[in-house]
């Protein structure tokens, strides 16, 4: 976890106050040897994917009453999946921290893994995808940028096959809002995203991009209504320490 201990405490206290059922963090920068620093029972049971060096890292916290259990992860601190159960339904929760280089192969590998989990009808995939869905809608039009920045074909093959939708874009078909601002390029991008299976869309009460707090990325929050009287809250935050095409695809709920 990058940053001084004081900042670690501040980050954890922020999420504790939110009283969330699920918290997914990326870029924790904690080695496997020091993974104990990520334990925080106030947030819930921890599931960790770490590298052997102080790079990358994904952690998911889930409340004990959700009966969370580990499903799969990679060894580079980029992929982590768990199962939770609530109201008689089971969910696959997937945390992603995609690489800058080699995204096409990364999403191809993830797709191959996910083919073993087709029996899950409720999937929530969240994290830093390190690319945008639409270069017209999800990034500022800065002439200094030389790279397209669009997610690779293998990403969309994954989302199409698993019937996943970009839930923030679905609810905000014309919205232009970023989750990461690059000081170097003076530009914003919406690279942090939450994708859900299409069948979950009617149960989503609210999805929002939150103001920046303890990270250089904006957190995303989604709230699910699973019963007439209850709701379920999730939050994804990236870097714990530290086109017209999409408009056509978007569907207002």
Q: Which residues are annotated as a binding site for Mg(2+)?
A: 27, 128, 130, 216-217
CA 37 to centroid of chain Cα atoms:
21
First and final CA of the chain: distance in angstroms?
38
Residue 128 is a catalytic residue: yes
Active site residue 97: yes
Count the neighbouring beta carbons within 10 Å of the beta carbon of residue 109. Answer: 16
Instruction: Single out the catalytic residue among 21, 51, 74, 128.
Output: 128
How far is Cα 165 from Cα 178, in angstroms, rounded to an integer?
18
- Please confirm, yes or no, whether 21 is among the known catalytic residues: no
Given the structure tokens 């998911």, which residue do they identify? 60
Which of 11, 21, 51, 97 is flagged as catalytic?
97
Distance separating alpha carbons of residues 236 and 240, to the nearest angstrom: 10
Q: Which residues are annotated as a binding site?
A: 27, 128, 130, 216-217
Among 164, 174, 163, 135, which residue's Cα sits nearest to residue 252?
174
Which positions are annotated as active-site residues?
97, 128, 217
């Amino acid at each position: 976890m990058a940053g001084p201990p004081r900042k670690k405490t501040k980050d954890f206290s922020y999420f504790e106050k939110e009283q969330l059922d699920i918290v997914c963090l990326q870029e924790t920068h904690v080695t496997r040897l020091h993974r104990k620093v990520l334990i925080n029972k106030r947030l819930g049971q921890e599931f960790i994917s770490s590298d052997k060096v102080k790079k990358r890292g994904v952690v998911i916290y889930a409340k004990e009453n959700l009966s969370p259990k580990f499903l799969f992860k990679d060894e580079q601190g980029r992929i982590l999946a768990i199962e939770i159960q609530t109201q008689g339904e089971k969910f696959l929760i997937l945390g992603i921290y995609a690489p800058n280089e080699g995204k096409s192969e990364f999403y191809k590998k993830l797709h191959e893994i996910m083919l073993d989990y087709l029996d899950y009808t409720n999937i929530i995939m969240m994290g830093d995808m390190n690319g945008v869905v639409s270069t017209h809608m999800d990034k500022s039009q800065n002439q200094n940028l030389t790279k397209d920045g669009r997610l690779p074909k293998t990403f969309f093959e994954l989302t199409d096959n698993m019937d996943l939708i970009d839930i923030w874009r679905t609810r905000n078909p014309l919205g232009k809002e970023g989750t990461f601002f690059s000081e170097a390029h003076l530009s914003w991008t919406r690279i942090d995203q939450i994708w859900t299976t299409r069948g979950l869309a009617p149960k989503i009460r609210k999805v929002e991009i939150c103001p920046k707090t303890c990270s250089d990325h904006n957190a995303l929050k989604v709230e699910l209504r699973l019963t007439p009287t209850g709701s379920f809250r999730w939050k994804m935050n990236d870097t714990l320490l530290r086109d017209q095409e999409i408009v056509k695809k978007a569907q207002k709920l």
